[in-house]
Amino acid sequence: MARSTRKRPRATARRSKPGRKRSQARYWSSAVTRNSNALDLESSVFAQRSPRKVALSLKRSAERSLRRKGTPYQSAMSMLTFYINRAGKGLPETRKRVLMRAKDELRKAFGRA
C-alpha cells in the first residue's frame, strides 16, 4: 500500500499563559539565580571581574545559608556550575574564562585543590 505524500496540517503554535510576560517564560534560569532556595547570593556576584572575588562571595553565601541541602562546598559549586551552563550561550568568552577560573578558586577556598 503506497503512502500518501500529503503533509499533515501544522499544529497551532503554543501560547504562553494569559498574563504571563514572555521574559519570565523564556528566562527561567535568571529567576532560579535570584530566588534560589540553596543560597542567598550577593547582588551581581557573577559580574565581578576577579575569579577570587566570585569564589569568596559564593563561599560566604553558602556558609551563611540555612536553607541549603548539601555542604557549603556543594552548594557554592553547583550554583556556579548552574550559572555557567545556563548562561553559557550568551556569555562572552572573557566572562566564561573568569567563571571557570572561579571554580578553581572555589576549590582552593574550601581546601579541595
pLDDT per position as a tens digit, 71-82: 999 999 999 998
> Is it the case that residue 5 has pLDDT exceeding 90?
no
pLDDT per position as a tens digit, 86-107: 877 788 999 999 999 999 999 9
User: By C-alpha distance, which of 85, 84, 57 is closest to 72?
Assistant: 57
pLDDT per position as a tens digit, 8-62: 666 666 555 666 555 555 666 677 766 766 677 888 888 899 999 999 999 999 9
Q: Please report, for residues 44, 66, 68, the alpha-carbon distance to residue 53 in angstroms, rounded to integers and kept in the order given.
A: 11, 22, 21
pLDDT at 42: 82
Beta strands in the chain (DSSP E): none
C-alpha cell at 43: 547582588
Residue reference for cell 578558586? 105
Q: ∠98-36-70 over CA atoms, to 5°?
A: 85
**Inter-residue contact 54 to 98 (CB < 8 Å):** yes
pLDDT at 33: 66
